[in-house]
Amino acid sequence: MHAMARRAEITLDLRRLVGRWTLRSAGHAGRFTYLFIDMLRGLAEWRIYLPRTFEQATGVGFGSLFIVLLVAGFAGAVTSLQAGYQFTGTLPLYYAGAVISESMILELGPVLTGLILAGRIGARYAAELGTMRVTEQIDALESLGRSPISHLLLPRVLAGLLVVPALTMFANGMGLFVGWITAKQSLGITDADFTYGARFFFRPLDLWYSLIKSYWFAGAVTVIPCYIGYNTQQGAEGVGRAATTAVVAASVSILLLDVVITKLLLGK
Amino acid sequence: MIQLSDIHKRFLDNVVLDGVSLEVRDGETLALLGPSGVGKSVTLKMINGLLRPDAGDVVVDGLHVQRLKRGELSELRSRIGYVFQYGALFDSDTVAENIRLGITDETCYSDDGYCADRVRECLRLVNLAPDVAEKYPAELSGGMKKRVGIARAIAGKPKYLLYDEPTSGLDPVNADVIDGLVERLRDELGVTSVVVSHDVRGSFRVADRVALLWQSKIRAVGTPEQILGSRDAAVLQFLERDLEMSLIQAESVANVRKDGS
Ligand SMILES: Nc1ncnc2c1ncn2[C@@H]1O[C@H](COP(=O)(O)OP(=O)(O)O)[C@@H](O)[C@H]1O
Ligand SMILES: [Mg+2]
């Protein structure tokens, strides 16, 4: 009797918890959609966001270039070494050229760049907007009849859409270059073999695919942190929470988008 | 005219406003007094639509604030200057750019010459030196930030001004400058103002009428004389507490002077 009552209570508690969680998620989804529509509407106000977009883009772009190139270079080197390790004696060497170029362009370039920028851009945007929210700067902007969407959010999102694909292309190039050098040094592959392998499997679609991925990742590392930062509550602690949540949410979205896009574009 | 009728507002279980009604006539300065945490800032934010009431009506200039479309609300807001309690300056912009963003008329905003003049003018009105213009908010003291916030709010020549504790944290000289500014904007330009304060003396000086927000309701409204003559227990308690505060302040100032000499 007692146990049954307890079980009923637990089920009820669980149900309430699930209910609350569902409500909260629905609330987020609603507000996110609303914000997104607001951004699309704000696109007409280019006079306001364009200058600020370039300002943001230079800040975010140059600031991230070094770390993106560094990580891409290491990724290229490791891919190259692993290819050598797996191929010894079984496959013709020129395959290494194919593996390195394809894995860099299709996967490592966009995804690693996306993940780094989820940290760099995501944390920055969420913390900036969160601080502006809790110090009432966003309210102040609204009180002057100005729109936070066109003054604060659009410049940040558009800057990301400009910068992330460019950085991804740099990362692809860097990874390929370092991979090639490493392959020459450690596998003794000739330039001719490497380019033959890289060309043999390469389709122009691959670069488009890399670019498409990077645009979606750019969206993820900008829109999500902007949403989270914009809705920050409760002071300094809230800003900290917004920054960490933004990085995690942006990173997870990149991994999810990666699977979905790969399935849609390359899946059989 | 600003009219709040039967405003209710709660945050989760925290009932902040429970049937607040208030009217601010054109050209008058109303001081909204009350202990801290009672909901003065919340009330002020209802007037320009930064917060929405759970129930009740807010009417400004004949417009129902809650029913306005986005564009209409922006337009109304450009006629209402808002001074934030802690300045709320845009900290990636210089003081000059902050004040310039307060110029809400788009033609004026894009006129560099007009803006430079207006920025200088507004700085002068809040008793700040012209060279402050090129500084960033992080380089300013709390009192200076506050005065830049006021300069930004008046830059667009608004018809209404909402001040959230404009003189708290200012030294007496600058508090006087700001009080004088509130009076002059009313007398020379006919600006309608709401001054939120917990400083009784300053607000009695600038206000035509005073309202006391007490335990989620407007407890008393009247001219400063009527409020001072009130027999209401809550009013007396509030005035008494303020009197004590100013005595303590006066005492500590005297002590500092004694120690300093
Ligand atoms: N955005 C908000 N979310 C939750 N509670 C709030 C919010 N803004 C104000 N409050 C609460 O409303 C009450 C009144 O706040 P406020 O209007 O700032 O007081 P004051 O009279 O000192 O200006 C406080 O209890 C505060 O915690
Ligand atoms: Mg307040």
Q: Do A144 and B101 touch (CB under 8 A)?
A: yes
CB neighbours of residue B47 within 10 Å: 22
Report chain A residues whose CB lies below 8 A from the CB of B50.
139, 142-143
Q: Give the pLDDT band of residue B246 (cuts 50, 70, 90).
A: low
Amino acid identity for residue B46 in this structure: M
Measured distance CA(B125)–CA(B150) in Å, rounded: 9
Sign of CA dihedral B16, A239, B86, B101: negative
pLDDT 10s digits, B190-238: 899 999 987 788 888 899 999 999 999 999 999 988 888 888 888 888 8
Measured distance CA(B239)–CA(A242) in Å, rounded: 42
- Please give the ipTM for the structure prediction: 0.88
Please tell me the residue having the least CA distance from ligand 1 atom 7. B11
CA-based nearest residue to B213, from B45, B13, B20: B20
Report chain B residues whose CB lies below 8 A from the CB of A136.
84-86, 88
Which of A188-220 are b and which e, b meaning 16 or more Cβ less than 10 Å from the residue's Cβ? ebeeebbebbbeeebeeebeebbbbbbbbbbbb
Q: Give the pLDDT band of residue A54 (cuts 50, 70, 90).
A: very high
Residue A2 φ/ψ, nearest 5 degrees = -60, -45
Amino acid identity for residue B15 in this structure: V
Could you say which ligand is closest to the alpha carbon of residue B39? 1
Q: Any residues with CB less than 8 A from the CB of A203 and at least 6 apart, and which? A: none
Mutate to test the pocket of ligand 1, among B9, B40, B42 (most ligand atoms within 8 A of CB): B42
Amino acid identity for residue B137 in this structure: P
Alpha-carbon gap: A142 to the closest alpha carbon of chain B (Å):
8
Measured distance CA(B151)–CA(A158) in Å, rounded: 32
Measured distance CA(A154)–CA(A122) in Å, rounded: 15
Give the pairing type, strands B160-164 and B80-83. Answer: parallel
Atom of ligand 1 nearest to the CA of B38: 21
Q: Is B191 exposed, middle or buried (0-12, 13-18, 19+ CB in 10 A)?
A: buried
CA-based nearest residue to A106, from A205, A197, A20, A39: A205
Please give the average per-residue pLDDT across A86-108, as a whole number: 82
CA B151 from chain centre, in angstroms, equals: 12
What's the whole-model pTM score? Answer: 0.87
Q: Where are the domains of chain A?
A: 47-262
What pLDDT is attached to residue B261? 45
Q: Does B20 touch chain A (CB under 8 A)?
A: no
Q: Is the CB of B37 inside a 6 Å radius of any atom of ligand 1?
A: yes
- Is B186 within 8 Å of B27 (Cβ atoms)? yes
Q: Architecture of B2-79+159-260 per CATH? A: 3-Layer(aba) Sandwich (3.40)
Could you say which ligand is closest to the alpha carbon of residue B32? 1
Task: Kindly state the percentage of chain B with pLDDT values over 90.
Answer: 61
pLDDT 10s digits, A247-259: 999 999 999 999 9
Alpha-carbon gap: A137 to the closest alpha carbon of chain B (Å):
5
Measured distance CA(A223)–CA(A24) in Å, rounded: 19
The encoded tokens of residue B229 equal: 């003559």
Give the number of C-alpha atoms closer than 13 A to the C-alpha of residue A148, restricted to the C-beta side: 22
Mutate to test the interface with A, among B44, B61, B74 (most CBs of A within 10 A): B74
Measured distance CA(A118)–CA(A111) in Å, rounded: 10
Residue B112: pLDDT over 60: yes
Q: Do B89 and A140 touch (CB under 8 A)?
A: yes
Q: Is the CB of B11 inside a 6 Å radius of any atom of ligand 1?
A: yes
Q: Does B78 touch chain A (CB under 8 A)?
A: yes
Quote the ligand 1 centre to B38 CA distance (angstroms). 7
Question: What's the DSSP call for residue B17?
Answer: E
pLDDT 10s digits, A157-190: 999 999 999 999 999 999 999 999 998 888 888 8
Q: Is the CB of B132 inside a 6 Å radius of any atom of ligand 1?
A: no
Q: Where are the domains of chain B?
A: 2-79+159-260, 95-156
Q: Does B40 touch chain A (CB under 8 A)?
A: no
Q: What angle do CA A134, A137, A143 make, to 5 degrees?
A: 120
Measured distance CA(A120)–CA(A70) in Å, rounded: 14
pLDDT 10s digits, B47-97: 999 999 999 999 999 999 999 998 899 999 999 999 999 989 999 999 999
